[in-house]
């Protein structure tokens, strides 16, 4: 299971225009709690960013898992990660 920790509901937004098309990038800081090569939890989480949809609200502080709908089988039957979406973990204490 991939465990993601959100510590703040703030997010970064950048926008611009290229070739007459407007673009917006929204990202929220997070920490990924990953496993090492032996399958044991790493001592420290790894900082990462979670992309947000244009009109979606930020994730609230707490622990999340990767939504299984973010994973799909693509060309040549390769397992791929699509749009990242998170689901709140159940039974886990929220970060203060």
Per-residue pLDDT 10s for the chain (96 aa) are 789 999 999 999 999 999 999 999 999 999 999 999 999 999 999 999 999 998 889 999 999 999 999 999 999 999 999 999 999 998 655 544
Domain tally, the chain: 1
**Rounded alpha-carbon distances, angstroms, from residue 75 to 41, 78, 79, 80, 83:** 32, 6, 9, 9, 16
* Residue 75 within a domain: yes
Domain limits for position 69: 3-9+24-88
- Phi, psi for residue 16 in degrees, rounded to 5: -175, -165
* Residue 76 within a domain: yes
* Residue 44 within a domain: yes
User: Tell me, what CATH number does 29's domain have?
Assistant: 2.40.50.140
Q: What was the pLDDT predicted at 1?
A: 75
* Residue 17 within a domain: no
């Amino acid at each position: 299971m991939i465990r993601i920790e959100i510590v703040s509901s703030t997010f970064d937004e950048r926008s611009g225009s290229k070739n007459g098309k407007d673009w917006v990038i929204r990202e929220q800081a997070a920490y990924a709690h990953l496993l090492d090569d032996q399958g044991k939890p790493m001592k420290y989480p790894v900082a990462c960013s979670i992309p947000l949809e244009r009109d979606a609200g930020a994730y609230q502080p707490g622990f999340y898992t990767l939504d299984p709908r973010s994973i799909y089988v693509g060309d040549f039957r390769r397992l791929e990660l699509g749009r990242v979406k998170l689901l709140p973990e159940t039974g886990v204490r929220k970060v203060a």
